[in-house]
């Protein structure tokens, strides 16, 4: 449904309901107005007849009075006059009779039937002298109710016609007015359609105040898309640069291997080939993991004890560490550490921290220790080694993608992946001061806090 039609349907139906209610009210008012007008015309006719009877002595009505009562108020008026002692004076012979006797000192209105038709009757009593007789003169005038109703209907129909004309005019104004009001949106749509796919700059077109929020949101979205595209392009460039070296090394070893005849040298080259292939596979896995962390919103979250996850990872890493003649210790805290995390991602982050220590700890490193503990209302994992260490003032560079503080065999992605994992879990990663070596702490919000 178009916005134009939607606005039309939102605005017009309430107005139609209001117009119907006004029409009903106007019909009631027309009936009330008709009754008041016709009652006053009956009273005027009765007063005119009473005056003429008094002036002429009951002989006849004046031509002006006859003309008045013949079509007063849009309908014929009947009359009947009796003088003192009930003597018939003039008018129709038999007037409609009242159902009950009312006060004699004021005009009396009532409904009665006359010759099969419903009539509105006015009976007025006055003291008059006609000829030699003095007494009460009774003037009765009546008029068809159908005449009143026809007049009321005519008033109501005029009001209905006026409101119908106003509603039609209003509908046309709304229909074409909405079209004119939406013209800036149509212009904005055409301007956006004419843009090239590479144009992600902000919209600078002047728009109405009601649309400025939409334009601001679009500009913000364009900026986010532009930043994401630039980040992807930077990542692809960095990834291509980082993959070039291990792939070149792998290709160089593979090309020389067929020409090696010495068995010991051939075995060494095969070992180099396997190492180069592992390095390439590891780099590829880390690149994919980093991108998945940045753009994949899905997490396989479950509630687990952080110490249990850490223990499982340490058991898997222990053979590799011990084969390097290094001491390896896991020191779980005394308390349960319930957390809502993705176990695979947390395991990968911890693995990257330990592998980073193995690659960059140096020849003097003798020990790697992994601990879990409760810090306030947060669960923590600490990975500490006694190797060369990372200076605190270079912490930002250490966590940057493809950044290495010292030349080595690493990819420069390990700590960047750890940082992304912690951001996805609303946790933190911190390089802590230590006397010797490196201490990196991961903190997670507790799912429930118990002492």
Amino acid 244: pLDDT: 65
Mean pLDDT to the nearest integer, 279-286: 68
What is the mean pLDDT of the segment spanning 412-418?
A: 75
**271 and 324 together in one domain:** no
For residue 260, what pLDDT is reported?
A: 77
Based on the domain organization, do 255 and 386 belong to the same domain? no
Q: Give the whole-number percent of the chain exceeding pLDDT 70.
A: 80
Name the token pair of 278: 């592992």
Read off the pLDDT of each residue in 401-424 and give the average, rounded to a whole number: 67
Eight-state DSSP code of residue 349: H
- State the total domains in the chain: 3
Residue the block writes with tokens 């994401």: 228
Residues 254 and 309 in one domain: no
SS3 112: strand
* Listed range (72-86, 216-230, 389-403) with the worst mean pLDDT: 389-403
Is residue 76 located within the same domain as residue 163?
A: yes
pLDDT for residue 441: 93
- Asked whether residue 337 is assigned to any structural domain, the reply reads yes
DSSP, collapsed to helix, strand or coil, labels residue 17 as helix
Angle subtended at Cα 183 by Cα 181 and Cα 186, rounded to the nearest 5 degrees: 135
User: In the chain, pLDDT over 90 holds for what percent of residues?
Assistant: 12
User: Would you say residue 82 has pLDDT above 60?
Assistant: yes
Cα gap 431→422, rounded to integer Å: 13
**278 phi and psi, to 5 degrees?**
-65, -40
- Same domain for 247 and 351, yes or no, is no
Given a cut of 90, whether residue 52 has pLDDT beyond it is: no
The dihedral over CA atoms of 103, 106, 112, 114, expressed in degrees to the nearest 10, equals 120
- Given 227, 258, 291, which residue is the final one in a domain? 291
Joined tokens for residue 375: 């810090």
Whole-number pLDDT of residue 80:
87
Q: What is the DSSP string of 294-347?
A: HH-----EEEEEHHHHHHHHHHHHHHHHHTTT-EEEEE--SS--EEEEEHHHHH
Residue 269 has pLDDT above 70, yes or no: yes
Q: Any idea what the CATH number is for the domain that residue 381 is in?
A: 3.30.565.10
Domain boundary among 239, 265, 291: 291
Gyration radius of the chain over CA positions? 51
User: Tokens 């009631």, residue?
Assistant: 28
Q: Do 303 and 374 have their domain in common?
A: yes
Give the pair of three-digit tokens for residue 45.
Answer: 């006719």
Q: Measured between alpha carbons, how far is 346 from 367 in angstroms, rounded to an integer?
A: 22
Q: Are residues 13 and 37 in the same domain?
A: yes
Final residue before a domain boundary, out of 257, 273, 291: 291
Position 68 scores a pLDDT of: 66
The mean predicted confidence, pLDDT, of the chain is 79
Specify if 249 maps to a domain: yes
Q: Is residue 183 situated within a structural domain?
A: no
CATH classification at residue 273: 1.10.287
> Does residue 187 lie within any of the structural domains?
no
* Shared domain check, 304 and 270: no
Higher-confidence position of 285 and 146: 146
Determine the pLDDT at residue 445: 92
Domain extent for 233: 209-291
Average pLDDT over residues 15-42: 82
Q: When comparing pLDDT for 352 and 184, which is higher? A: 352
Q: Which tokens in the block code for residue 338?
A: 């319930």
Dist CA 386 CA 368 (whole Å): 7
Q: How confident is the model at residue 389 (pLDDT cuts 50, 70, 90)?
A: confident
What span, in angstroms and rounded, lies between the C-alpha atoms of 357 and 360?
A: 5
Confidence class of residue 451 from pLDDT cuts 50, 70 and 90? very low
Residue 200 lies in a domain: no
pLDDT for 450 equals: 47
The token pair that represents 346 in the structure block: 């947390």
Averaged over 241-254, what is the pLDDT?
68
Examine residue 193 and state whether it is found in any structural domain, yes or no. no
| 139 plus 270 within the same structural domain | no
Q: Which helix (H) or strand (E) holds 88?
A: strand 88-91
Say if residue 71 is in the same domain as residue 164. yes
What pLDDT is stored for residue 329 in this prediction?
A: 93
Query: Could you tell me if 26 and 146 lie in one domain?
Result: yes
pLDDT at 103 over 60: no
Whether 213 is covered by a domain: the verdict is yes
Query: What is 178-194 written as a DSSP string?
Result: HHHHTHHHHHHHHHHHT
Examine residue 175 and state whether it is found in any structural domain, yes or no: no
User: 305 with 256, same domain?
Assistant: no
**What are 159's two structure tokens?**
């009001």
Instruction: Average the pLDDT over 152-180 and give the result.
Output: 81
């Amino acid at each position: 449904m178009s916005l134009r039609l939607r606005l039309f349907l939102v605005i017009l139906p309430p107005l139609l309901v209001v117009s119907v209610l006004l029409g009903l009210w106007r019909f009631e008012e027309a009936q009330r107005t008709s009754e008041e007008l016709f009652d006053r015309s009956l009273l005027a006719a009765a007063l005119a007849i009473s005056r003429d009877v008094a002036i002429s002595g009951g002989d006849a009505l004046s031509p002006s009075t006859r003309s008045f009562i013949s079509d007063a108020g849009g309908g014929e008026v009947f009359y009947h006059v009796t003088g003192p002692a009930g003597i018939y004076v003039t008018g129709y012979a038999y007037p409609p009779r009242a159902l009950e006797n009312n006060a004699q000192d004021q005009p009396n209105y009532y409904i009665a039937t006359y010759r099969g038709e419903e009539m509105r009757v006015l009976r007025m009593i006055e003291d008059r002298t006609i000829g030699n007789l003095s007494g009460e003169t009774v003037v009765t005038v009546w008029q068809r109710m159908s005449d009143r109703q026809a007049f009321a209907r005519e008033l109501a129909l005029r009001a209905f016609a006026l409101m119908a004309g106003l509603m039609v005019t209003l509908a046309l104004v709304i229909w074409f007015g909405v079209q004119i009001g939406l013209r800036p949106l149509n212009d904005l749509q055409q301007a956006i359609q004419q843009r090239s796919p590479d144009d992600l700059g902000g919209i600078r077109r002047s728009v109405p105040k009601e649309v400025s929020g939409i334009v601001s949101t679009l500009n913000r979205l364009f900026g986010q898309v532009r930043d994401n595209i630039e980040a992807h392009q930077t990542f692809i460039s960095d990834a291509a640069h980082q993959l070039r070296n291990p792939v070149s090394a792998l290709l160089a070893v593979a090309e020389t291997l067929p020409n090696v005849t010495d068995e010991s040298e051939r075995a060494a080259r095969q070992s180099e080939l396997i190492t180069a292939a592992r390095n390439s596979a590891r780099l590829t896995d880390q690149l994919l993991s980093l991108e998945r962390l940045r753009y994949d919103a899905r997490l396989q979250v479950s509630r687990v004890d952080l110490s249990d996850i850490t223990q499982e990872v340490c058991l898997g890493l222990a053979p590799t560490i011990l084969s390097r003649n290094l001491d390896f210790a896991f020191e779980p805290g005394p308390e349960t550490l319930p957390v809502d995390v993705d176990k695979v991602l947390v395991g990968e982050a911890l693995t990257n921290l330990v592998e980073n220590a193995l690659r960059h700890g140096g020849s003097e490193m003798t020990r790697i220790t992994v601990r879990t503990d409760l810090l306030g209302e947060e669960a923590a994992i600490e990975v500490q080694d006694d190797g060369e260490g990372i200076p605190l003032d270079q912490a930002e560079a250490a966590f940057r993608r493809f950044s290495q503080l010292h030349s080595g065999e690493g990819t420069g992605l390990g700590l960047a992946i750890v940082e992304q994992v912690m951001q996805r879990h609303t946790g933190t990663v911190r390089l802590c001061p230590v006397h010797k070596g490196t201490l990196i702490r991961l903190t997670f919000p507790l799912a429930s806090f118990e002492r």
